[in-house]
Amino acid sequence: MATSHSDYETISTISTLIQKVDTDLQSKFSVSFEQFRILDFIKNIYPKQTTVSALAKQFHSNNSATSRKVSVLYKENLIQDHVSGEDRRTHWITLAQKGNAIIHDIKIVVDSGLPDLETKILVLLSNTIKNDNK
């Protein structure tokens, strides 16, 4: 019978914990954690606008994957698309009023759950290290 390395089990458990956060956000707000990060990034940059290409670079993704995530945010009226007056090929992305409001609500949920999540992850890692040192 094949055995699984304890580190794999730890990583799998951590991944499940993080996935639960994402699932909870999607069920409560119809926004994934990654989409929340995009919204939060736009809110915190100056001059509060960006492009799909800049988002892809910021989040180490490709343009098509980022574009799919952004499309959902458009459909939910969380962001707006503005065509550049200088170069009509450039589309600037800004937060919509609804996007600003949802960021606030999501931050309350995420910030309240992070300490517990961090504790669980630290306990898992600590236990794995202890078991590896035996």
pLDDT 10s per residue in the chain (134 long)?
Answer: 445 567 788 899 999 999 999 999 999 999 999 999 999 999 999 888 999 999 999 999 999 999 999 999 999 999 999 887 777 788 899 999 999 999 999 999 999 999 999 999 999 988 888 877 76
The DSSP secondary-structure symbol of 34 reads H
Q: How far apart are CA 47 and CA 93, in angstroms?
A: 11
In contact, 49 and 99? CB cutoff 8 Å: no
pTM of the predicted model as reported, rounded to 2 decimal places: 0.81
Give dist(CA 127, CA 122) in Å, integer: 8
Report cis status (omega within 30 of 0) of the bond before 47: yes
